[in-house]
Amino acid sequence: MRHVLVLGDQLTSDHGPLADADPATTVVLTVESVELIRATRAHVQKAALFFGALRRFSRDLASRGFRVDHHRTADSFASAIAEHLRRWPGATLELMRPADRGVAAGLTLAARRAGGDLRVLPNPLRLVPDEVFDAYARGRERWRMEAFYRRVRAREGWLMDPEDPTKPLGGVWNLDRENRRVPPAGTRFPPPPSFAPDELMREVLDDVERLFPDHPGRLRPFGWPTSRAEALAALDDFVDHRLPAFGPYEDAMVGGERVLHHSQLSVPLNLGLLHPREVVEAVVRGFHEGDGRVPLASAEGFVRQVLGWREFVYHVDRTRGPALEAANALEHDAPVPDAFWTGRTRMACLADAWQGLHERGWNHHIERLMLFGNLALTLGTDPRALTAWFTAHYVDALDWVMVPNVMGMSQYADDGGFTSKPYVSGGAYIDRMSDHCRHCPFEPGRRTGADACPFTVGYWDFVDRHQARFERHPRMAMIVRSWRARPEAERSAVRARAAELRAGLP
């Protein structure tokens, strides 16, 4: 018999160890680890997503004739592995290489302690092999997604000029300039798909309610895709209804609108229910076969996210993760703001994004980067504490994607190892990209006074505290100079207000 251990982010039998497995001679071990959910104090929708997807995957395998040793709400991986090896003494478990660093070592130890062993097999859930990234990264101290992306897009041949396959379709690699629009007031957004829980999922929701009563978030309604069929339906729905306007409104925020034209595909992708190749191919096909319905800027913008950012951050974590995890170049040590946990704030933008997070454990990229991340950075929040907050709250949060996105991209903890400048902005940016400020008691343009926008105060205080570091920075030096030109009374008022904001957001 073969014994295959399948983790909650490896839910595929089309790729990896189960692709060529004979159900008659394969035992599959799957574990719902209560310990893991408790250790991160995960949002209840995240617990339901992982338990539900694992349970449905296990049931599907069993219906195809596999022998499945599924551990429903098990204490921990170690206890489930020990139990498995009591039934099959001395077995060697096969495992697809986990995306998260350190997991294989912990599971090997658990298997050996229980008298068995563990063999790690390649992980085919990536688009860019290790050696391709390593060839890009070798000899470079600072990595840039754009250069990596151009290489790998040309390598794959997606959206390339048919006359000259070394050149991008349309003559430019990056159409971001076309992708910074804000939807006019009254725009109607296509409703995102929601998958009503079946009987199995209803049991999962009951288990989660019983086991994690004090975890953050609201459990019901729950509508995330938790099976392969639902994941494929979510992909089709995106290509049919939201891809055409994905690009132009990629960076926009609209009060009360949770999804806009985003795909929400990070959820099934990160579970392994979808392969990134089939996702990109569906989008490229949607572009070529869409009779002009899908603009190049939307297709390119999406391919850049998955083939560019998603693959790039995976390899950044694989190679620099341990250093990144410990980094704190800006020496930030403030606690995560209380309002991030409670949602109690009068700041319209933050309150709205928090509500979305509370309801479904998800925000789109700009809310993560330019609201929560930006505010935390300007207030000087400890980046490791912020990573733990993000990991707990987001249904698609896994270490490999959290560490580079929060520590690197959002908090600049590695001093710009792969971003060209810190992602900081004042309220003016949020005012430009959203309708939030119209409904807010604060003034986006003001940095002093009772109605000063906390983002604007935080932004200038950040410039003040880090002026020595950024005075020669090509993209920050001018801002530092303009700050230094302000009257001292104004600068000290900003410092004083920022100290108050660190003690509590209004």
What does the binding site for ligand FAD look like in residue numbers (CB under 6 A)? 262-266, 269-270, 302, 305-306, 309-310, 313, 364-365, 368-369, 373, 390, 394, 396-397, 401-402, 405-406, 409-410
384 in Cβ contact with 397 (< 8 Å): no
Give the one residue of 387, 444, 459, 463 binding ligand SF4; rule: CB under 6 A.
444
Closer to ligand FAD at the Cβ: 43 or 70? 43
| AA letter at 89 | P
Query: Quick one: what does residue 410 bind among ligand FAD, ligand SF4, none, with the CB cut-off 5 to 8 Å set by partner type?
Result: ligand FAD
Query: Which residues, 6+ apart, have CB-to-CB distance to 226 below 8 Å?
Result: 49, 52, 53, 56, 195, 201
- Candidate segments 62-70, 112-120, 271-279, 430-438, binder of ligand SF4 by CB under 6 A: 430-438
Whether the CB-CB separation of 319 and 134 falls below 8 Å is answered with yes
Helices 130-137 & 311-326 angle (0-180, nearest 10): 60
How many of the other CB atoms lie within 10 Å of CB of 349? Answer: 29
Site for ligand SF4 in 314-373 (CB under 6 A): 347-349
Residue 262 binding target from ligand FAD, ligand SF4, none, CB below 5 to 8 Å by type = ligand FAD
- Is 459 among the residues that bind ligand SF4 (CB under 6 A)? no
10 Å CB burial of residue 407 (0-12, 13-18, 19+) is: buried
Query: Taking the complex as a whole, how short is the minimal distance between the CB of residue 262 and ligand FAD, in angstroms?
Result: 3
- Please say which residue, 201 or 505, places its beta carbon nearer to ligand SF4: 505
Q: 231 vs 409, which CB is nearer to ligand FAD?
A: 409
Q: Near ligand SF4 by CB under 6 A, which window of 4-12, 131-139, 234-242, 425-433?
A: 425-433
Instruction: Provide CB contacts within 8 A for 154, sequence distance 6+.
Output: 160, 165, 166
The entry of ligand SF4, ligand FAD, none near residue 201 (CB within 5 to 8 angstroms by kind) is none
Any long-range contacts for 445-454 (C-beta under 8 Å, 24+ apart)? 447/490, 447/494, 448/490, 448/493, 448/494, 448/497, 452/497, 453/426, 453/427, 454/347, 454/375, 454/427, 454/501, 454/505, 454/506
For residue 453, state whether it binds ligand SF4 (rule: CB under 6 A).
yes
352 interface partner picked from ligand SF4, ligand FAD, none, CB below 5 to 8 A per type: none
Decide whether 88 or 423 has the Cβ nearer to ligand SF4.
Answer: 423
Question: Which range in 62-70, 142-150, 411-419, 438-446 contacts ligand SF4 by CB under 6 A?
Answer: 438-446
Q: Which helix (H) or strand (E) holds 74?
A: strand 67-74
Q: How would you classify residue 150: left for phi > 0, otherwise alpha for psi between -120 and 50, otherwise beta?
A: alpha
Q: Does position 442 bind ligand SF4 by CB under 6 A? A: yes
Residue 437 interacts with ligand SF4 (CB under 6 A): yes or no: yes
**DSSP letter (8 states) at residue 434:** B
CB count in 10 Å sphere of residue 473: 16
Length of the chain: 506
Q: Which residues here bind ligand SF4, judged by CB under 6 A?
A: 347-349, 427, 430-431, 436-437, 440, 442, 444, 453-455
